[in-house]
Structure 1
Amino acid sequence: MTSSTTIPSADSLQGRPVPNVTFKARPGDAWQDLSTDELFKGKTVVVFSLPGAFTPTCSSTHLPRYNELAPVLRANGVDDILCISVNDAFVMNQWKAGQDAGNVTVIPDGNGDFTEGMGMLVDKRDLGFGKRSWRYSMLVKDGVIDKIFIEPQREGDPFEVSDADTMLSYINPDAKIPEPVVMFSRPGCPHCARAKAALSDNGIVFTDISEDQKITTGVLRGLTGQLTWPQVFIGGKLIGGADDVMAFVSSNQGR
């Protein structure tokens, strides 16, 4: 960020409507104009904005954690989770696909109109990025900014307050954060499909590590002590195969 850039304060933005712009999106490989009203009117929406798709912090932490906590945010009154970046639609779509971030709606602010309207457009020419967004997150209710978390104004790319956990804590400090779920699976395995369906049908976000990612039966046995697929971990604890997952889901329903 150049020294001439001044980021607005949270107090100056809270209570204001979001910028009225039209985004050039491309869902389903067809161009579509998305207006601010379509995205925000009559809804409670969490927005997080970041410097760029495929960049390190954005890909390793910012987007994945919002995707992971999306079901909890929705259970606490959030209608949609938007990720806005000054990137074109093709870049945003490819990034989302590679991140397996199906719980987040990516919004390409290719011309920077929304970001400029927020006062968050910063100069990152020193990195060869041109104009990009400063990192922030906000809770928007019916098009009005209810709460915004803006990263501190200093050199580099601070990431301290715009994370998903901070947003969830603001919305509901007592919200229960689920344990991370990891599944080791094999393509074409019916038991794997059954376990995935049980998790998905119950709103449990999981990371699927498939055999085609070089996780062989030998590796599976070394990690889990088991030879059968799938094997599911929750919070670092081995749950087991498909039947064990079904039993776990059944025992936790209604909690």
Structure 2
Amino acid sequence: MELQNREGQYVPEVTLKQRKGGELVDVQTKDIFANRTVAVFSLPGAYTPTCSSTHLPRYNELAEQLFASGVDEILCLSVNDAFVMEAWGEHQEAEHLTLLADGNGDFTEGMGMLVDKTDLGFGKRSWRYSMVVRDGRIEKMFIEPQKPGDPFEVSDADTMLDYLNPEADRPSFATIISKPGCPHCARAKQALADSRIAYEDITIGNRDITSRSLRAMTGHATVPQVWIDGRHIGGAEDLKAHLDQAVA
């Protein structure tokens, strides 16, 4: 089957499903796309490796930049049922995304993206692609190349953002290891917040990390310990120096 680029055409008018407030809700595509700019990414299935580790999380990470570039909503579509999509979303970092179920494959088939994956035991699923839709009309499509496996080369969030806003900066992300009641940790967290750097806080003393873990990872026994974009920065004073240098 030859996948077709449908730029310039309108998206199919179908009914999708979503679990909301414990109820199964009908979602009309004509309501989603009308008078709005929507970024859509469609994937083979919830819980599959690339979808969970890279495709969905990066769209969530870049959501603020996508919204600032004119996107009203970011949709994740898959030929799964609404219960699966809801459960998957709860186990993912997806607070900025809308996950919709195309359980019958109606939308995907209408897009010409329904493919046979019976060799994997999946049945009919969506080919991996993304698109920008303005007022129901497809402006741009990024369709993964038709080759064996599950290619993931062009439907990613960074490619989408580059198309919408080539000058957009990528956000930095930080991890901080802290202890409850530590004033230096509070100071470091405030410094990250003031610099608009999103961070994950890992607290020593819970079941996931101990002081020994901290020493093994950093060679230090003091908190906080901060990483930004994969680089170990150090403690609160080290972080201040790093942020001051970045501003200078």
Tell me if both proteins adopt one fold, taking TM over 0.5 as the criterion.
yes
| Match 2:46 to one of 32, 53, 66 | 53
Task: Report the CA distance shift for 1:141/1:174 in structure 2 as closer, same or farther (over 3 A).
Answer: same
What displacement does 1:214 show? 2.1
- Match of residue 234 from structure 1: 228
Letter in 2 for 1:14: E
Cα distance in structure 2, aligned partners of 1:160 and 1:194: 40
| 8 Å Cα contact 2:11/2:138 also seen in 1 | yes
Match status 1:7 vs 2:8: no
Q: Secondary structure at the match of 2:42?
A: strand
Aligned residues: 246
1:108 matched residue in structure 2: 101
Aligned partner of 1:86 among 59, 65, 79: 79
Q: Is the 8 A contact 2:177 2:223 kept in 1?
A: yes
8 Å CA contact 1:71–1:203 kept in 2: the answer is: no
Choose 67-76 or 35-44, whichever is displaced more.
35-44
TM-score by length of 1: 0.82
Q: How does 1:21-170 map to 2 (within 5 A)?
A: 21-170=14-163
Change in 2 beyond 3 A, CA 1:145/1:237: same
Q: Which amino acid aligns with 1:236?
A: G
Paired with 2:89 and 2:149, the residues of 1 have a C-alpha distance of 24
Secondary structure at the aligned position of 1:26 is classed as: strand
Q: Distance in 2 between matches of 1:243 and 1:69?
A: 29
Structure 1 Cα separation of the partners of residues 160 and 2 of structure 2: 24
Uncovered stretches (5+) of structure 1, i.e. residues with no partner: none
Q: Distance in 2 between matches of 1:89 and 1:193?
A: 40
Moved more, 194-203 or 68-77: 194-203
Task: Indicate if the aligned counterparts of 1:184 and 1:208 stay in contact, CA closer than 8 A.
Answer: yes
State the Cα deviation string for residues 203-236 of structure 1 (Å, max 9, x = none). 6444454554622122123324554555432123
User: Is this contact kept in 2: 1:169–1:175, CA < 8 A?
Assistant: yes
Q: Which moved more, 1:244-253 or 1:19-28?
A: 244-253
1:229/1:136 Cα in 2 relative to 1: closer, same or farther (>3 Å)? same
Q: Which moved more, 1:158-167 or 1:225-234?
A: 225-234
Deviating more after overlay: 39-48 vs 176-185 = 176-185
CA distance in 1, matches of 2:227, 2:45: 32
Q: CA deviation at 1:247?
A: 9.8
Structure 2 CA distance, aligned partners of 1:176 and 1:252? 14
The normalised TM-score by structure 2 is: 0.84
- Partner residue in 2 for 1:214: 208
Q: 1:120 offset after TM fit, Å? A: 0.5
Take 1:244 and 1:28, find their aligned partners in 2: how far apart are those partners? 45
Instruction: List runs of 5+ in structure 2 lacking aligned partners.
Output: none
97-106 or 135-144, which deviates more = 97-106
- In the aligned structure 2, how far is the partner of 1:136 from the partner of 1:142? 19
1:186-218 CA distances to partner (integer Å, 9 max, x unpaired)? 6x7687789778867986444454554622122
Compute the displacement of 1:155 (Å): 2.1
Provide the identity percentage: 58
Cα pair distance change 1:16/1:204, threshold 3 Å: farther
Correspondences of 1:182-193 after superposition (within 5 Å): 182-184=175-177
From the CA coordinates, give the structure whose radius of gyration is larger: 2
CA distance, structure 2, for counterparts of residue 247 and residue 35 of structure 1: 52
Q: Residue 51 of structure 1 contacts residue 134 of structure 1 at CA under 8 Å; is this kept in 2?
A: yes
